[in-house]
Amino acid sequence: MNKLCILVGTTIGSTIGWMIPDYFGASFGWSFVVSSIGSIVGVWAGWKIARKLE
């Protein structure tokens, strides 16, 4: 369950992190950086959700 929640959190976080700069017309580099930050936030959120579900 822990790995599944982290996978889903990473996927959602990185997708949202990629879409926000892309919406504002930022370059590939900024989209990559914000997507990486979104992935880290997604791992943290998925881990916290998995702990609550257990």
Q: So what's the pLDDT on residue 45?
A: 96
Q: What is the pLDDT of residues 23-35, one digit of tens each?
A: 999 999 999 999 9
Kindly state the average pLDDT of the residues 11-23.
95
CA dist., res. 9 & res. 6, Å (int)? 5
Helix 28-53 × helix 2-23 angle, to 10°: 150
Distance CA 13, CA 54 (A): 22
pLDDT of residue 15: 96
What is the structure's pLDDT at 32?
A: 95
